[in-house]
Structure 1
Amino acid sequence: MTTSSENQKLIVVTGASTGMGASAARELARQGFHVLAGVRRERDADAIRSTGIEPVILDITKSEQVEALAARVADDPRALHALVNNAGIQVNAPVEALPMAQWRHVFEVNLFGHIAVTQALLPALLRANGRVVNISSIGGTVAMATYGAYAGAKFALEAVSDSLRREVAPLGVRVVVIEPGGVRTEMAARGVATANRLADRMTPDQEERYGSLVRANNELMTSGTASGLTADAAARIIAKAVTTRRPRTRYTAGRDAAVVTRLARILSDRTLDRILAANLRRHYPKRDDAIEARPVRARVRDLGLCK
């Protein structure tokens, strides 16, 4: 448990409806902080509301809700100890096949929204010598096939975190990045469902090029999540970054994240490509399954019944 002085401190956690965000909110409340837990729906607010957790309606892409959060923090006499930028979405599709509107939406949620919340709360964090904890991903260090948009936003978040850290460290604010690998949350299942919806919209030629890749990646994502950290275990790493007196600039969460991050530092791009391809190859559908899974229009075309 923290000292009694911590009872007078606030923490903001975005994306606290489920998964790591909800678990982090509960862990930090357990340690004595007053947590403003960002959720998007009233039913999510009802689910997480408890001792030490005050839900706030927050879509980080909506400026009026970000401004309302900043006003709520400014009106509170307690110091803002930390902002945990956790909100995010997972969208997987080949670069060629992902519509531009989806690219922009991923960056709005996974990058620009975090920047908006950070800008809004930095005055309070500067007054309190607080800290910013940005939840990145293993995808912020290695961009796997079909992860172009997701990894692109996470790579950018890592870069913004580095720049922000160097700007505000002399002013007393610490910036920390958390890089989780597979975590057993609802986000991965939603990501697979989204990937399947996007795959259904691919053209026949795109299906021919990428259909098996998408299905293999979905299998890999599902298996990696099933064997990954629990949300509570990941939350304890987030809490450590929030509470330790001198936090590291980066923490990995999960063995897979630690291994891949280390490999990315020491291996050439080509060598890493081969390792990732070999790992993915095990999840490719068998030929008969792949044919069956292809859209009807593609199979009809193969039979010569249409052009």
Structure 2
Amino acid sequence: MTTSAETQSCVVVTGASTGLGAASARELARRGFHVLAGVRRDQDADAIRAPGVEPVILDVTKPEHIADLAARIAEWPGALRALVNNAAISVTAPFETLPLDEWRRTFEVNLFGQIAVTQALLPALLRHSGRVVNISSIGGKVALATCGPYSGTKFALEAVSDALRREVAPLGMHVVVVEPGAVRTAIGGRAIAETDRLAAAMSPEQQERYGPLLQATNANTAANMANGRSADQAAQVIAKAVTAGKPRTRYTIGWDAALFTRLARLLPDRLLDRITAARISGS
């Protein structure tokens, strides 16, 4: 792939401050792309900046940030090859206990933010026969107890991706979904801290009802982060989704994602309930 400014292809990666997004930005730059890496803070920009990686301040819930990104794409002399929608937050809490504003915040970041960025960049992607790569999750196929907020956004992202793929396929554009299982990134630690914060705000009755479940959930998250794939390994799959000549509509990352996406299709709900409960409890 040539790397002259006149012809070099550009890829946008949102949520590139750390973890999977940062690893994907580095891997795509290594493969010869110019990567616009969306970060939320100046210190994150300093950390990710490297040859082929240009940090851009991007909070996907802020229209002005998205407008600035679209303007940067408009002035780029090469093609926009792909948009990797990776920005997300993990919110884990029992359905009853999570304030509605927290539900809305999760959807704003994990779903509406992705839609807003995609809408802004879609004209450029269509001009260059680019593609959208949406980072979903195993949680977009199977919703574990306490994962309603996060899984709700990922189930919705899966549906939105299907609809968009069917709309733009006749126009020569691909839409790909990547479904990671456990990956060793900072999001796990942040999820545990967020769960603890939300648990502290529960009423005594709610803590009695759900306290043991949340403890088991946090233990399961910690175990997954310890045993999951590295971010660099996961980034290889995302890079494949960006570069494959004929990409699949979906890629899984890790044995757990591959297994549970199949179980979700094959098993009755009650049996899947028992399996997911055992997964959280570790039994």
TM-score range, shorter chain: over 0.9
SS in structure 2 at match of 1:92: coil
Q: Name the aligned partner's letter for residue 92 of structure 1.
A: T
Superposed CA deviations along residues 194-241 of structure 1, whole A, max 9, x for unmatched, are 001100111111111101000101000110111001000010000000
SS in structure 2 at match of 1:237: helix
SS in structure 2 at match of 1:239: helix
Q: How many corresponding residue pairs?
A: 281
- What is the distance in 2 between the residues matched to 1:16 and 1:131? 18
Superposed CA deviations along residues 96-125 of structure 1, whole A, max 9, x for unmatched, are 000111000000000000000000000000
What's 1:97 paired with? 97
SS in structure 2 at match of 1:55: strand
- What is the distance in 2 between the residues matched to 1:208 and 1:243? 50
What's 1:300 paired with? none
Correspondences of 1:255-270 after superposition (within 5 Å): 255-270=255-270
Q: CA deviation at 1:279?
A: 2.3
- What is the distance in 2 between the residues matched to 1:113 and 1:277? 31
Q: CA deviation at 1:173?
A: 1.0
What's 2:156 paired with? 156
What is the TM-score normalised by the length of structure 2? 0.98
Correspondences of 1:1-307 after superposition (within 5 Å): 3-4=1-2, 8-282=8-282
- What is the distance in 2 between the residues matched to 1:282 and 1:155? 25
What's 1:301 paired with? none
Q: Which moved more, 1:272-281 or 1:173-182?
A: 272-281
Identity of aligned residues (%): 65
- What is the distance in 1 between the residues matched to 2:281 and 2:195? 18
Superposed CA deviations along residues 14-45 of structure 1, whole A, max 9, x for unmatched, are 00000000000000000000000000011111
Instruction: Name the larger-Rg structure.
Output: 1
Q: CA deviation at 1:5?
A: 6.8
What is the TM-score normalised by the length of structure 1? 0.90
Q: CA deviation at 1:156?
A: 0.2
- What is the distance in 2 between the residues matched to 1:278 and 1:167? 40
Answer whether contact 2:91 2:194 (CA < 8 A) is retained: yes
Q: Name the aligned partner's letter for residue 132 of structure 1.
A: V
- What is the distance in 2 between the residues matched to 1:227 and 1:219? 12
Q: 4+ residue runs of structure 1 moved beyond 3 angstroms?
A: none
- What is the distance in 2 between the residues matched to 1:130 and 1:162? 16
Q: Name the aligned partner's letter for residue 199 of structure 2.
A: A
SS in structure 1 at match of 2:273: helix
Q: CA deviation at 1:77?
A: 1.3
- Kindly report the root-mean-square deviation, in angstroms, between the aligned alpha carbons of the 2 structures: 1.0
SS in structure 2 at match of 1:11: strand
Unaligned runs of 5+ in 1: 284-307
Q: Name the aligned partner's letter for residue 251 of structure 2.
A: Y
SS in structure 1 at match of 2:17: coil
